[in-house]
Structure formats: C-alpha cells, structure tokens
Amino acid sequence: MSDASAEALLPPDEASYRTVLGHFATGVTIITAMDGDEPVGVSANSFTSVSLDPPLVLFCAAKASSTWPRIEAAEQFTVNILNEHQEDVCRVFATKGADRFSRIGWRPSSNGSPILHDALAYIECTMQDVHDAGDHVIVVGKVLELGVLSEEGPLLFYRGGYGKLAS
Ligand SMILES: Cc1cc2nc3c(=O)[nH]c(=O)nc-3n(C[C@H](O)[C@H](O)[C@H](O)COP(=O)(O)O)c2cc1C
C-alpha cells in the first residue's frame, strides 16, 4: 500500500467533514412534538423520505440535543418543511435556550404535535424505530397524515448558508 492510499484511509477531521458534506444542498425542517402541554421543536436538515409502502421517513437527532429526549418521550412528531422566508424560524429553532414558540403560530396535528404557521408542508408521524449512529440517532417515523400548505418556494441550506430557488 502506498503512503498516499494510507493517508486516504485516515478518518476525516471535523472541518473537512463539515466542508465536504455541506456541499449537499438540502431543505430545512422543524421537527416538533409535545412535552405534556409544552410544544418542543428543533431545526433539522437530515430529514429524508425512506419508504412508500409502508410510508416511512427519517431524521437524525444529535445525542447532545436537549430537545431530542423530549421528542423521543412523545413518541409522535411532525416534520414541518420551511418556506423560503423562514430562515429566522430555522435560526430560532437551532438556538439553545431560545423561546422557540414565542414568535410563531401553530396548531396541533391529529397526533397533537405542532404544525407551524406558514410551513410549506407537514408530515405527521408516529415513532417507529430509533437506531444508534455515532453521536446521532436515526429516527424512523411512520407517516400518519401529511399535507401541502403553501405553494411558496423552499428554504435551502447549502455550505452553511441559506438560500432559495432561482425564479
Ligand atoms: C440548518 C440546520 C440544520 C440542522 N439539522 C440538524 C439535524 O438534522 N439534527 C440535529 O440533531 N440537529 C440539527 N441542527 C442543530 C439543531 O437545530 C440544534 O443543535 C439544536 O436545536 C440545539 O438545541 P437543543 O439542545 O435545545 O435541542 C441543525 C441546525 C441547523 C441550523
């Protein structure tokens, strides 16, 4: 084995990992749930569709998140897909200690977890599986109900910044 290929097998450092993975453009979601009477939510761009039959989706939650144990305990969650004007919503729901629901309206979905005002679409789920994955867990949700709420464009996340589709 040459020195060059041995080098290629070194695990990536955090900066390289973030830089390279940041080139994968995504939308942005807020994962919401109820902790008793209190709504909880967290920004997540790890959301993706998984299976059509049965209908499954997933997101990845950081084990360090203080919100994740509250969503896990609820066993129900709603994925809210953000529109292009909701960068501020994404920022608030990614800020530790922020009063996340003080500046946004919401209504309960049929499982109770919040559907955010102005979200592009929502996907209401019951938690089916939680898989261990390094410093995150992979959360698989079974889709109970879903809907499109707006024809606006999506909020995009790319290389650490926000954007929207060119019109
Ligand atoms: C654009 C964006 C995407 C994010 N995606 C995720 C994600 O997929 N999973 C996750 O656990 N955290 C994600 N985060 C970070 C969480 O939103 C943030 O760490 C969390 O809200 C911290 O607060 P908490 O400890 O109160 O949960 C993302 C943040 C931003 C800004």
For residues 48 and 24, give the distance between their C-alpha atoms in angstroms, rounded to a whole number.
13
Give me the architecture of the 27-158 domain, per CATH: Roll (2.30)
d(C-alpha 167, C-alpha 160), whole Å:
22
- Digit-coded pLDDT (tens) for 34-70: 999 999 999 999 999 999 999 999 999 999 999 999 9
Residues 84-141 have pLDDT tens digits of 999 999 999 999 999 999 989 999 999 999 999 999 999 999 999 999 999 999 999 9
> Which class for 32: exposed (0-12), middle (13-18), buried (19 or more C-beta within 10 A)?
buried
pTM, two decimals, is 0.94
Say if ligand 1 is within 6 A of residue 65 CB: yes
Does the Cβ of 71 fall within 6 Å of ligand 1?
A: no
Judge whether 166 and 157 are in contact, CB under 8 Å: no
21, 28, 35, 42, best to mutate for ligand 1 pocket (most atoms within 8 Å of CB): 42
pLDDT on residue 12: 84
Whether the CB of 28 sits within 6 Å of ligand 1? yes
**How many angstroms separate the CA atoms of 40 and 17, rounded?**
29
